[in-house]
Amino acid sequence: MSSAPSRAPRCDQTVAWQALMGHAQAHGRSMDLRALFADDPQRVQRLGLAAPEVFADLSRAHWDMATHKHLLDLARECRLEAQRDDMLRGACINGTEGRQVLHTALRAPQGQGPHSQAVHEVLEAMLAYVEGVRARAGGTQPGDIRDVVNIGIGGSDLGPQMVVPALEAFVHPGLNFHFVSNVDGQDLASVLRKLRPEHTLFIIASKTFTTQETMANAHAARQWFVEHGGHDVAHHFVATTTNVEGARAFGISTTFGFWDWVGGRFSMWSSIGLPIALALGAEQFRAMLAGAHAMDQHFAQAPLESNLPMWLGLLDVWYRNGLGYSSRCVSPYHHGLRRLPAYLQQLVMESNGKSVDMAGQSLPYATCGVWWGEPGTNGQHAFFQMLHQGTDVIPVEFLLVRRPSHRDAAHLSPALKALLDEQHDKLLANGLAQAQALMWGKSTEQARTELAPTAGADVPPEVIARHRTFPGNRPSTTLLLDEVTPHALGALVALYEHRTFVAGALWGINSFDQWGVELGKAMCKELLPRMADGDVRDLDPATAAMICRLRTPGGA
């Protein structure tokens, strides 16, 4: 058993917290970004931080150098660096489940980090299997794989589903990837109609091989496979699970395991990453692990003052508790990263959506806010109206990528690449303009002078000017990648993992359990037979009435 974690005070039990909250009351809510830039010509330089593959511009965040000092004091008084070291060395920081938290060990080079031998045995076996499948991928002979269907949910789905399209430029051209997670049969049915059983590989991703949604879809997929003339389930189905006996009973002989110290939302680096490895190949999958490890090293070794995951986590706490911001918009200006907001929803909100501390005491302050978003420029034509002129202040995190992913696409002509390069410039300009507009806004006087003489003839010009006024002083941060490669994406995801840990450590919560997921699942198991037999005894009136209505034709 690993050693116990160090003792650290909860954030509100420190002198630094009281000073920070006092600073928020006196200055935080009256900060104006435009004044902060005017008062400090070096603000951009002071608040730019570099980490492996990622540069962060934090100058448009709602904080000043006094805020920085208070946050550094808080980090030190909460022994944040010691808490980080506890996680990395394998202390049992997931106290409610009695587990280590060692997703970082999954990307450590061989011979480094805890459990290295076991990790690399599974990794080598998985990558050998991957190269065997890829060697015949796209072929026409029975058993040659063209389509890969990953069946999982939560952490067994969101990571691979985010990474594969993000790295489309590196994906094997003979393989198509599909992700099925919803227990709604339409999800699986819409995928199956595109497939031929003799050229399809199904990955059943479930640690216990008992996850209700995953196993329902797995059994339905096997039924389709057999009905459509499929032969050799053992060749066309593979499992990422620790329940080898359960997989064997299903008909699966090829399994790749992982460990209880790997949380689902931190598991894309493990065998849960099998679809990523099949898409990228062994070399590029290792590059993704190496990028994450580079960020791990930065997190472990960089001083607090220049440690990017530390500062992003501190900013999250400042926004939530100092300024009361309850939401965060993530806007990646890169089409490949379109599933990143959904991935972060689980990573951040499942980790830090807690209301009691490690000792089970109710917290007197807010923890995780709502994370959401869509890729730019789509979001600009949807919800950016609220970001600019709504009544709530919602910090925005922009992700920009210098080099477009289509640059090396072999199927594009030079002329078409030139046109798409121009579009990439437009994409980046849009991202820069949105951050600029959020900060600077537009005064009523500016709006008034821009009105055309005939504009809004039936409405007074002053009214129109008010509608075209932007308050500005809306905060944002910008993360910049040079390009989206396996190495860079690995570093970016690890950055978000560590940032989530930092906020949770300061709040004094366990970021690595998820009991809130369990209650609804347990109730579902109880309700499922009642849906079939109509027994509504002892149910609450609303649930009983809805079951009766659902069982009645035309009951809607």
Active-site residue numbers? 350, 381, 521
SS3 for 425-484 is HHHHHHHHHHHHHHHHCECHHHHHHHCCCCCCCCCCHHHHHHHCCECCCCCEEEEEECCC
- Which uninterrupted H or E stretch holds 213? helix 212-227
Coil vs helix vs strand at 496: helix
* Distance of alpha carbon 383 from alpha carbon 341, whole angstroms: 14
β-bridge pairing 200-205 and 237-240:
parallel
> Which DSSP category does 291 fall into?
H
Count of residues in the chain: 556
State CA 167 to chain mean position distance: 15
Helix (H) / strand (E) element for 35: namely: helix 33-39
- Direct distance between the N- and C-terminal alpha carbons of the chain, in angstroms, rounded to an integer: 55
The answer to whether 363 and 509 are in contact (CB under 8 A) is: yes
SS3 for 321-372 is HHCCCCEEEEEECCHHHCCHHHHHHHHHHHHHCCCECCCCCECCCCCCCEEE
Instruction: Tell me the backbone φ, ψ of residue 368, rounded to 5 degrees.
Output: -60, 135
Instruction: Answer left, alpha or beta for residue 291, where phi above 0 means left and psi between -120 and 50 means alpha.
Output: alpha
Element (H, E) at 317: helix 308-317
- Residue 495 belongs to what H/E stretch? helix 486-507
**477 bridge partner residues:** 397
What is the DSSP secondary-structure string of 498-546? HHHHHHHHHHT--TT--GGGHHHHHHHHHHHHHHHH---TTS-HHHHHH
User: How many whole angstroms separate alpha carbon 328 and alpha carbon 352?
Assistant: 14
